[in-house]
A and B are shown apart, each in its own frame.
Chain A
Amino acid sequence: MGRVLVQVMPKPEILDPQGKAVAAALPRLGLTGFVDVRQGKRFELVVEGPVTPEVLAQARKAAEKLLANPVIEDVVAVVDADAADQAAHAGASA
């Protein structure tokens, strides 16, 4: 089964109180190097077969029509999740 990864972030100009709360909590763990935190959402859309260009087009539609509200949020990624995760792992072990 294929997975499409959709990532949504609050627009830069929109205040993100959740991110602010997380940022304020990090120093309690001694993690003082982070000057800001923004919190977004990751969706995984599962399909029966492989992630084809048609599947990605449908996922983009889902992202624009429901998963994100364009007034306050940006869709920052609509990609094949397995490919994205492999790339991330490769990056982490490099």
Chain B
Amino acid sequence: MKIGVVTFPGSLDDRDAARAVVRGGGEAVALWHADADLRGVDAVVLPGGFSYGDYLRAGAIASIAPVMGSVVEAARGGMPVLGICNGFQVLCEAGLLPGALVRNDVRTFVCRDQRLRVEDASTAWTSAFEAGQEIVIPLKNGEGGYNADQRTLDELEGEGRVVFRYLGGNPNGSQRDIAGVRDASGRIVGLMPHPEHATEPGYGPSEHGGGASGNGTDGLGFFTSVLQALASA
């Protein structure tokens, strides 16, 4: 299965995301922001970083890059898409996910091993987990405060579309401790923390006992889940 990883000017975690795809058992395909060709991929990861220098708003300019026209069209047709950190911001700006990410309420960049609860294990990117399971993956951002109006938040909660919630204290002022959400189909998922940085023993989180995996590889499940979803589609 081919998983595309988009590189925008200012993307930082595209190489780690591609490596995570391979560690999960997929084939990583590099995609370029200025090229609308998705090169026959079965799914797409929008990686973390500071696309276009976070100019205007984080993810705003990337959301209308040539490649995003193709990603939005394919996503609306059912292709799985995962947005990590800046990729989550891009998905919100592109209108594929509701809400917006704003500057952390603590006014500082936050970088730490973050405990999360997987609220929804039915998505294309979380089926390797159990609903309610606790995982630990890195969190590192300056603009991670999830915001939406109360009606949208109530809808997300009511439809079970909050996929991840922060545990052990809210790190950035996100409403209702939301760390990640999904679209109605469960194939488009966005989150601020970084699963791609937790796929290799010795290089992932060491705090909180290394997470559910015990060795800092709790992020691997994202990349095995999507292969499962594609195989059963």
Partners in one complex: yes
Tell me the complex Cα distance, A10–B145, Å: 14
Residues of A within 8 A of B60 (CB): 66, 69
* B105 lies within 8 A of chain A by Cβ: yes
Contact indicator B107/A15 (Cβ below 8 Å): no
Question: Are the CB atoms of B56 and A66 closer together than 8 Å?
Answer: yes
Most buried by A among B103, B107, B148, B173: B103
Task: Count residues of chain B with CB under 8 A from any CB of chain A.
Answer: 20
Could you mark each residue 48-85 of chain A with 1 if its beta carbon is under 8 Å from any beta carbon of chain B, else 0? 00000000000000000011010110000000000000
Q: Which residues of A contact B56 (CB under 8 A)?
A: 66-67
Q: How large is the interface on A (under 10, 10 to 19, 20 to 34, 35 or more residues)?
A: 10 to 19
Q: Mark B64-81, 1 if CB is under 8 A from A, else 0.
A: 100000000000000000
Interface of B: prevailing SS: loop
Mask of B91-105 contacts with A, CB within 8 angstroms, 1/0: 011000011101111
Q: How far is the CB of B94 from chain A (nearest CB, A)?
A: 11
Q: Is A27 an interface residue (CB 8 A)?
A: no
Q: Annotate A4-17 by CB proximity to B: 1 below 8 A, 0 otherwise.
A: 00000010001101
Q: Which residues of B contact A14 (CB under 8 A)?
A: 102, 147
In the bound complex, residues from chain A placing their C-beta under 8 Å from that of B148 are: 71
Give, as a whole number of angstroms, the nearest-CB distance from A22 to chain B: 11
B19 within 8 A of A: no
Contacts of A69 in B (CB 8 A): 57, 60, 93, 100
A72 contacts B107, C-beta separation under 8 Å: no
A17 and B93 contact, CB distance less than 8 A: no
A10 vs B100: C-alpha distance when bound (angstroms): 12
Bound form: Cα–Cα A67–B98 in Å: 18
